[in-house]
């Protein structure tokens, strides 16, 4: 197939960006979306031009590096997958495809399609852990955990930290991402001792990073490649208010 791409090009964080058109010809439907961009980049490099920069690594939907806004949707038109898992068979010959970076105050553009998502790490640093030292852990089977609970914690834990939820949200809210971690640890017995301290610390950091508030539009859940459920946000809100109550009782 032959395609027209409109790609956001921006030299660096300070430069002004713009959409630039490229022609991608002889694209095979078996190619992945990123392989299609590789081919375009090979052509640019051959001409001595700067290739289109984008983040990627695993190319199998698990590292959370890739992060393209494709035709107005984070990770493109298909449900439940990341950009690197998208194949060109999802497009038609002569299509025009608009490719942009994540757009959110919390994720400033670094160059072209690459953004700075370090705010996510800082939120995790604020409290996304169980304070357990290396060594001295009790036998792994000492505390049985009902399968349904373990499975539910696992579902929350599959978040890949890509940021699509933020990019999809009109308020650029990071609630889905934050609540996924809060839920995982709040569901497990090991996470109980720090449960309320954790949620407060993570929410405070989230607010400090400039992410917007949640108005329950559900766009995050719809666009999340790992189909993280919005129930996590409800769980987090519950814990957050309980934490406040506990604090006022102290």
Partner 1 sequence: MKLDAKIPQGPLAEKWSKHKFNLKLVNPANKRKYTVIVVGTGLAGSSAAASLAQLGYNVKAFCFQDSPRRAHSIAAQGGINGAKNYQNDGDSVYRLFYDTIKGGDYRSREGNVYRLAEVSVNIIDQCVAQGVPFAREYGGLLDNRSFGGSQVSRTFYARGQTGQQLLLGAYSSLNRQINLGKVKMFTRHEMMDVVTIDGEAKGIVTRDLISGAIETHSAHAVLLCTGGYGNVFYLSTNAMGCNVTAAWKAHKRGAYFANPCFTQIHPTCIPVTGEHQSKLTLMSESLRNDGRVWAPKTKELAEKIRKGELKASELKEDDRDYFLERKYPAFGNLVPRDVASRNAKEIVDEGRGVGTSGIAVYLDFAESISRLGEDAVRAKYGNLFDMYKQITDENPYKQPMRIYPAVHYTMGGLWVDYNLQTTVKGLYCLGEANFSEHGANRLGASALMQGLADGYFVIPYTLGDYLATIGPKEIEANHPAFEETKKNVVDRINKLLSLKGNKTVSEYHRELGHIMWEYCGMARTEEGLIKAKGLIRELKEDFWKNAIVTGINEEFNQNLENAGRVADFIELGELMVDDALDRKESCGGHFRLESQTPEGEALRDDDNYAYVAAWQYNGDNQPESLHKEELVFENVKLTQRSYK
Q: Which three-class secondary structure state does DSSP give residue 165?
A: helix
Alpha carbons 126 and 244: distance in angstroms, whole number: 17
Residue 82 binding: pick among partner 1, ligand SF4, ligand FES, none (C-beta 5-8 Å cut-off by kind): ligand FES
Residue 110 binding: pick among ligand FES, partner 1, ligand SF4, none (C-beta 5-8 Å cut-off by kind): partner 1
Q: Which residues of 155-167 are buried (b: 16+ CB within 10 A; e: fewer)?
A: bbbebbbbbbbbb
Contacts of ligand FES in 33-92 (CB under 6 A): 56-59, 61-66, 82-84
What is the phi-psi region of residue 75: left when phi exceeds 0, alpha when psi lies from -120 to 50, beta otherwise? left
User: Which residues sit opposite 97 in a β-bridge?
Assistant: 5
Alpha carbons 153 and 132: distance in angstroms, whole number: 18
Which of 36, 109, 126, 160 lies at the binding interface for ligand SF4 (CB under 6 A)? 160
For position 107 contacting ligand SF4 by CB under 6 A, the verdict is no
Residue 246 binding: pick among ligand SF4, partner 1, ligand FES, none (C-beta 5-8 Å cut-off by kind): none
Residue 92 near residue 31, CB atoms below 8 Å: no
Residue 66 binding: pick among ligand FES, ligand SF4, partner 1, none (C-beta 5-8 Å cut-off by kind): ligand FES
Residue 164 binding: pick among ligand SF4, partner 1, ligand FES, none (C-beta 5-8 Å cut-off by kind): ligand SF4
For position 97 contacting partner 1 by CB under 8 A, the verdict is no
Which stretch in 17-25, 60-68, 167-175, 215-223 sits in contact with partner 1 by CB under 8 A?
60-68
Alpha carbons 34 and 31: distance in angstroms, whole number: 8
Helix (H) or strand (E) holding 224, with range, is none
Compare residues 27 and 172 and give the one whose CB is closer to ligand SF4: 172
DSSP strand pairing (3-9 vs 18-24)? antiparallel
Residue 41 near residue 9, CB atoms below 8 Å: no
Which of 40, 113, 202, 224 lies at the binding interface for ligand SF4 (CB under 6 A)? 224
Contacts of partner 1 in 193-232 (CB under 8 A): none
Residue 194 has which token pair?
């720090």
Residue 221 has which token pair?
């859940």
Compare residues 72 and 146 and give the one whose CB is closer to partner 1: 146
Applying CB under 6 A, the residues found at the interface with ligand SF4 are 159-165, 176-177, 180, 224-226, 228
């Amino acid at each position: 197939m032959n395609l027209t791409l409109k790609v956001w090009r921006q030299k660096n964080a300070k430069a002004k960006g713009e959409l630039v058109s490229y022609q991608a010809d002889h694209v095979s439907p078996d190619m992945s979306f990123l392989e299609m961009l590789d081919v375009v980049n090979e052509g640019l490099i051959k001409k001595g031009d700067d290739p289109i920069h984008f983040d990627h690594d695993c190319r199998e939907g698990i590292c959370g590096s890739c992060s393209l806004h494709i035709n107005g949707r984070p990770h493109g038109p298909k449900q439940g997958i990341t950009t690197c898992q998208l194949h060109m068979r999802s497009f038609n010959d002569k299509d025009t495809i608009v490719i942009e970076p994540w757009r959110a105050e919390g994720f400033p553009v670094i160059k072209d399609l690459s953004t700075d998502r370090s705010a996510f790490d800082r939120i995790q640093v604020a409290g996304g852990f169980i304070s357990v030292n290396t060594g001295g852990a009790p036998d792994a089977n000492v505390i049985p955990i009902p399968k349904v609970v373990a499975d539910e914690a696992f579902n929350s834990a599959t978040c890949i930290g890509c940021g699509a939820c933020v990019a999809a949200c009109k308020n650029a809210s990071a609630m889905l991402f934050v609540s996924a971690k809060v839920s995982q640890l709040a569901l497990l017995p090991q996470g109980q001792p720090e449960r309320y301290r954790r949620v407060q610390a993570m929410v405070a950091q989230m607010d400090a990073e400039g992410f917007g508030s949640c108005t329950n539009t559900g766009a995050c859940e719809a666009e999340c490649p790992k189909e993280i459920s919005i129930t996590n946000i409800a769980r987090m809100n519950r814990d957050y208010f309980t934490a406040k109550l506990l604090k006022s009782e102290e």
